[in-house]
Amino acid sequence: MIEKLSRNIRIRAIITIIVLLPINSLLAQEDESFYSAIQTVVIDAGHGGKDPGCHGASAKEKHVCLAMAIQLGDLIAKKYPEIKVIYTRKTDVFVELSERAKIANRNKADLFICIHANAASAQAFGTETYVLGLHRTESQQKVAERENAIIHLEDDGGAKYKDFDMSPDAIIARQIQLSVFLDQSISFASKLQSQFKGIGRYDRGVKQAGFLVLYKTTMPSVLIETGFLTNPKEEKFLNTEATQRQMSGAMFVAFQQYKNELEGIDEEIEQVAPLPIEALKTEASATENSQSKENKVEFKVQIETSREKIALTDIKFNGYTVSQYQQDGLFKYTIGSYIQDFQKANEMKQKLRNSGFQHAFVVAFMNDERINLQKAIKLAEK
């Protein structure tokens, strides 16, 4: 009797184990998915190979971006070994724009991070992060156009994109199609900008533009413009290993915050130390200068336009302190900076014409973007 009862108990126990195994397996899967909101991240170092990207006096975009991309990937892999980190490139090679997006899509990435450096006037500085959308300013459009222009270096000269629709209607449709991903992209981009600001960088904000590489991805995606290589101080900053590590460290903190937000985890994350005192001085003075100009009209007097870069100390400038900015593939040179004061700029224009710069004329900027002169005069009067 006892033996029969014992045998029945053993049989019931075996049946119970067999029945519960699938349930336990499902629970384990649920538990694993809950704690793995991001299972694959693709990190895209901008440009590469025959495409150097923008550059300063010595630093090239393709090199500084690759350094930060690998540093970011290493930080993620070390902290989260369960996350698969994939790079679009780990060496100095050329990768087509469409292939970068395909790498992310093929691997079913949960997050796509593009790392770039910017180009504008020699005075432009700070970081900005882009998500897919319609540009709101001329400068945002130019950033997208510059990054998209590498398609002409591809083997077919960009022919594969000939019928690709990047019209405002198409971009809006794509935003609606990927609305959930767009919200997540904006969330991650906001965290990135907050962290950059936290280490002392000037925050140029979260922006939208029609980047091909973002258009073709099917997951939350951002494109980071880490700074301006056309600004000598920014170039030095981005081309230094220690400060590159601070930038990648700030990206990593934002990544952790974003991951925790998706998973509903509330934990304290160690922040990246602020920039060194020397760098902070540079950034502080630049930020102070920017705040004095922010949302204000700045008039300058343009004296020269050239297809080739001219040294600011060139004898042709007659000893004047000259600034440079780039527009439509040309180098343009100005004298003076007159905040909200067109009259002073106009007086300088006349003075310069009398001293030999016969074609000098006034140009206007707002937030480092050139704007229509008549519009600028009206804004300054207000």
Percentage of the chain surpassing pLDDT 90?
Answer: 41
pLDDT at 360 over 80: yes
Please check whether residue 53 is in contact with residue 94, taking contact to mean a CB–CB distance below 8 angstroms: no
End-to-end CA distance of the chain: 102
Tell me the pLDDT of the chain averaged across its residues.
80
Tens of pLDDT, residue by residue over 46-88, are: 989 988 888 888 899 999 999 999 999 999 999 999 999 999 9
Please check whether residue 226 is in contact with residue 199, taking contact to mean a CB–CB distance below 8 angstroms: no
State residue 28's pLDDT score.
Answer: 41
* Total Cβ atoms within 10 A of residue 273: 10
* Element containing residue 14 per DSSP (H, E): helix 2-34
**How far apart are alpha carbons 318 and 115 in whole angstroms?**
40
Q: Which of 84-88, 106-110, 205-209, 241-245 has the lowest mean pLDDT?
A: 205-209
Tens of pLDDT, residue by residue over 118-176, are: 988 888 899 999 998 654 445 545 555 555 555 556 666 656 555 555 566 665 665 56
Nearest to 228 by CA among 363, 329, 123: 123
State residue 277's pLDDT score.
Answer: 42
**How far apart are alpha carbons 54 and 62 in whole angstroms?**
8
Specify the amino acid at residue 86. Answer: I
State residue 150's pLDDT score.
Answer: 55
Q: Residue 42 forms beta bridges with which residues?
A: 86, 112
Cβ neighbours of residue 2 closer than 8 Å, sequence gap 6 or more? none
Structure tokens at 365: 């900027």
Phi and psi, residue 235, nearest 5°: -60, -45
Mean pLDDT over 279-301 rounds to 62
pLDDT at 7 over 70: no
Domains and CATH numbers, the chain: 36-288 (3.40.630.40), 295-381 (3.30.70.1070)
**How far apart are alpha carbons 125 and 67 in whole angstroms?**
20
Nearest to 192 by CA among 248, 250, 113, 269: 250
Mean pLDDT over 169-198 rounds to 80
Q: Which of 33-47, 101-115, 153-167, 294-308 has the lowest mean pLDDT?
A: 153-167
**How far apart are alpha carbons 119 and 324 in whole angstroms?**
12
> Degrees (nearest 5) of the Cα angle 55, 56, 58?
95
Please check whether residue 362 is in contact with residue 346, taking contact to mean a CB–CB distance below 8 angstroms: yes
Structure tokens at 142: 């130019």
**How far apart are alpha carbons 208 and 137 in whole angstroms?**
10
